[in-house]
Chain A
Amino acid sequence: MGIPDYYEFGCNTTIVAGHDALEQISGLLVSMEAKNPMVITDHGVRRAKLVDILLQALDGRITVRTIQDDVPPDSDIKTVQTLAAKYTKNRCNAIIALGGGSVMDTAKGVNILASHGSDNLLAFAGAGALHHTLNPLVAVPTTAGTGSEVTRVAVISDPDNDRKLLFTSGFLMPDAAIIDARMTLTLPSAITAATAMDALSHAVEACLCLGRNPLSTAHAHEAIALISHHLLPVIRNPGHKPGRLALAAAATLAGMAFSNSMVGMVHMLGHSVGSVCHVAHGTCMAILLPYGMAYNFHRTNSQLADLLLPMAGADLFARTSPADRAQKAVDWVHQMNRRLHQATAGAHTVCLREIKGPDGSTLVPGHLLPKIAHTALGDGSIFYNPEDLDYDDCLMVLEAAHGGTPLDRSRVKKG
């Protein structure tokens, strides 16, 4: 691979991983002088009794000031402001984020406001808008996908404007991440599939986008290999703890990779589908990933070809001629989506028009695609995509992903 003239890579987060890693949390909090934490979580995590496991792991040195479980599936500004006020009112001095991507990003947003004594989250949007360290934050992921436990990024919805706000700063990295296999054991198979495909999209985009570098690529390749080996076996046998831990490690590795090289059009379009149609992030990523790879094909052919090795293994890689490897990598992701569709009895969707709400309604009707394309043009991930996109390009990709038809690469403008 070509090595860029210049790149940056960093991960300040202490990672504690293992089957019973959560038992280390009190020691970590004490070492940070963070004995009065607020716990931020959601109803699903509480129902799964994961809060109970957390509280059992905490010893007498730690006094949890308040447990807030009101985080919605799509974290938003108002939730962040409400929780930040409660943080101050309860005189907390740290946050434990127990949950998936929405909880993690909410916790990061709360930490921004609480650490700055502010109630205006918009003032901190963008890249590099934070100028000092934040209060201690310990992340305990309960899904294996977001990678937010090790990223310098938070994505928070602005529902009034149907958009997602991007916050990027090294200060957003949690101080510690605890990866414990018990946290993901009860995850339903469809969510396991979608979140793992989210992690896969982080890893793949980390290898393709403009900020790619040897260190992020190394992390991403290992993440892809772990997902390739363990995802389908875990879907078939959800109680397999080593497999769960491997997927959690993959999500963390992919998080480290994309936090340093950033992500592109898959996330740009996915954020917009999520904000306009309220679709789960992982579902959007799974569907859009092969389309993003196909769109950037002419710009990233050699990087795509390299992905086939961790995806499909050494045998298939060796049997495939170098000229065909990039296309095989795109095909592998399509195939993985189809296998997950079968393994989850159809719960894992392979095109946008198949996504259904709890009442069986279509969440992404075709008439909303123009609005999604327009919204996507305001997403910061566009900066990092290898190929440029205008409104027509976004619509073309969305239409293909909506119908589940392959992207016609001859229509991609090459300039």
Chain B
Amino acid sequence: MMDFLEITPGRQTLKRWYLAVMFRFFGRAIQAAARVDQPVTSEFAAMPENYTFCLGAFPGGPYMVVGKDENGRVRYMGSSIAHRTIHLHLTFKSPALLFLVFTFRESTPIANARNRLYVRGDVAQACAVMRVMDMIQVFLLPKFLAKRAVKRYPDWSVKRRTLVRAQVYIRTIAGL
């Protein structure tokens, strides 16, 4: 019987580490924006209590879990999807495809149009989550990067572009 060399797939450690850091930052930014930005608050207000969604990649993550707790407060719930009821899964087919989006080489709408992610759950809620993600990207990214990430760079008020954005940044860093 012949001996075959067993090949272990690469772990893409650096990409996974980068995505994990981005997810942590992004998740905390969603939590922060839900506290201080009215349009983001409104999107979450329309979701049911205890509603939880995750963004991640097959087969083994990384993942970002965000949801409303029993008091209706939006929280970044970490990176584990185990032992949780998740109502909406936005899952890229591989970490490499997720990496394309989080390095701003491909926008989320284009990734979706290219059939790169699965959306399991209520499509109406998925639309709301996508709108929230677009707003977070506009808050966090410089304009030249955000324009690549969203379909249309929004024309926000001066207050939202400065004061609210500063609050989102401070709360994201502080984890509030």
Which single residue of chain A is at the shortest CB-CB distance from B39?
A: A390
Q: Tell me which of A378, A383, A384 contacts B128 (CB under 8 A).
A: A378
Chain A residues with CB under 8 Å of B114's CB are 4, 6-8, 211
Shortest C-beta distance, B75 to chain A (Å), equals 24
- In the bound assembly, the distance between CA atoms of A4 and B106 in angstroms comes to 12
Question: Are B119 and A163 in contact, with the CB atoms below 8 A?
Answer: no
Q: Tell me which of B110, B123, B128, B152 contacts A413 (CB under 8 A).
A: B152
- Could you give, for residues 113-135 of chain A, a 1 whenever the CB lies within 8 Å of some chain B CB and a 0 otherwise? 00000000010011111000000
Question: Are B127 and A382 in contact, with the CB atoms below 8 A?
Answer: yes
Chain A residues with CB under 8 Å of B91's CB are 128
Which single residue of chain A is at the shortest CB-CB distance from B115?
A: A8
- In the bound assembly, the distance between CA atoms of A369 and B151 in angstroms comes to 25
- In the bound assembly, the distance between CA atoms of A211 and B107 in angstroms comes to 13
- In the bound assembly, the distance between CA atoms of A211 and B112 in angstroms comes to 8
Given A125-B123, A129-B118, residue A384 in contact with residue B154 (CB < 8 A): no
Asked if A388 is an interface residue, CB under 8 A from chain B, the answer is yes
Asked if B124 is an interface residue, CB under 8 A from chain A, the answer is yes
Shortest C-beta distance, B64 to chain A (Å), equals 18
Number of interface residues of B (CB under 8 A): 28
Which residues of chain B from 119 to 150 have a CB within 8 Å of any chain A CB? 119-128, 130-131, 147, 150
Which residues of chain B from 10 to 63 have a CB within 8 Å of any chain A CB? none
Which single residue of chain A is at the shortest CB-CB distance from B123?
A: A380
Given A415-B153, A415-B154, residue A125 in contact with residue B113 (CB < 8 A): no
Question: Are B127 and A378 in contact, with the CB atoms below 8 A?
Answer: yes
Which single residue of chain B is at the shortest CB-CB distance from A383?
A: B112
Chain A residues with CB under 8 Å of B117's CB are 127-128
- In the bound assembly, the distance between CA atoms of A128 and B88 in angstroms comes to 12
- In the bound assembly, the distance between CA atoms of A209 and B127 in angstroms comes to 17
Question: Most A CB atoms within 10 A — which of B110, B120, B124, B153?
Answer: B124
Shortest C-beta distance, B47 to chain A (Å), equals 11
Asked if B70 is an interface residue, CB under 8 A from chain A, the answer is no
Q: Tell me which of A8, A210, A378 contacts B110 (CB under 8 A).
A: A210
Asked if A414 is an interface residue, CB under 8 A from chain B, the answer is yes
Q: Tell me which of A209, A378, A387 contacts B123 (CB under 8 A).
A: A378
Question: Are B155 and A378 in contact, with the CB atoms below 8 A?
Answer: no
Question: Are A388 and B123 in contact, with the CB atoms below 8 A?
Answer: no
- Could you give, for residues 370-393 of chain A, a 1 whenever the CB lies within 8 Å of some chain B CB and a 0 otherwise? 000000011110111011100000
Question: Are B123 and A166 in contact, with the CB atoms below 8 A?
Answer: yes
A-B CB pair tally, cutoff 8 Å: 80
Asked if A262 is an interface residue, CB under 8 A from chain B, the answer is yes
Chain A residues with CB under 8 Å of B112's CB are 210, 383-384
Asked if B72 is an interface residue, CB under 8 A from chain A, the answer is no
Chain A residues with CB under 8 Å of B125's CB are 378
Chain B residues with CB under 8 Å of A163's CB are 124
- In the bound assembly, the distance between CA atoms of A102 and B131 in angstroms comes to 30
Chain B residues with CB under 8 Å of A386's CB are 151
Question: Are A126 and B151 in contact, with the CB atoms below 8 A?
Answer: no
Chain A residues with CB under 8 Å of B127's CB are 377-380, 382-383
Given A388-B152, A415-B152, A415-B153, residue A209 in contact with residue B113 (CB < 8 A): yes
Question: Most B CB atoms within 10 A — which of A122, A166, A382?
Answer: A382
Question: Are B115 and A126 in contact, with the CB atoms below 8 A?
Answer: no
Question: Are B122 and A387 in contact, with the CB atoms below 8 A?
Answer: no
- In the bound assembly, the distance between CA atoms of A223 and B114 in angstroms comes to 23
Question: Are B109 and A383 in contact, with the CB atoms below 8 A?
Answer: yes
Asked if A165 is an interface residue, CB under 8 A from chain B, the answer is yes
- In the bound assembly, the distance between CA atoms of A128 and B150 in angstroms comes to 23
- In the bound assembly, the distance between CA atoms of A386 and B109 in angstroms comes to 9
Question: Are B151 and A380 in contact, with the CB atoms below 8 A?
Answer: no
Given A8-B115, A379-B127, residue A125 in contact with residue B150 (CB < 8 A): no
Question: Are A211 and B113 in contact, with the CB atoms below 8 A?
Answer: yes
Which single residue of chain B is at the shortest CB-CB distance from A7?
A: B114
- In the bound assembly, the distance between CA atoms of A211 and B117 in angstroms comes to 13
Q: Tell me which of A166, A209, A413 contacts B155 (CB under 8 A).
A: A413
- In the bound assembly, the distance between CA atoms of A383 and B151 in angstroms comes to 10
Which single residue of chain A is at the shortest CB-CB distance from B107?
A: A210
Other 10 A-B pairs with CB < 8 A, given A163-B124, A383-B112 = A126-B120, A126-B123, A127-B117, A127-B120, A128-B91, A128-B119, A165-B123, A380-B119, A384-B109, A388-B150
Which 6 residue pairs of A and B lie closest in terms of their CB atoms, listed nearest first? Answer: A378-B124, A128-B118, A415-B152, A210-B113, A211-B113, A388-B152
- List 14 interface pairs A-B (beta carbons < 8 Å), by A numbering: A127-B118, A128-B119, A128-B120, A209-B113, A211-B114, A211-B115, A377-B131, A379-B127, A380-B127, A383-B109, A384-B112, A387-B151, A387-B152, A413-B155
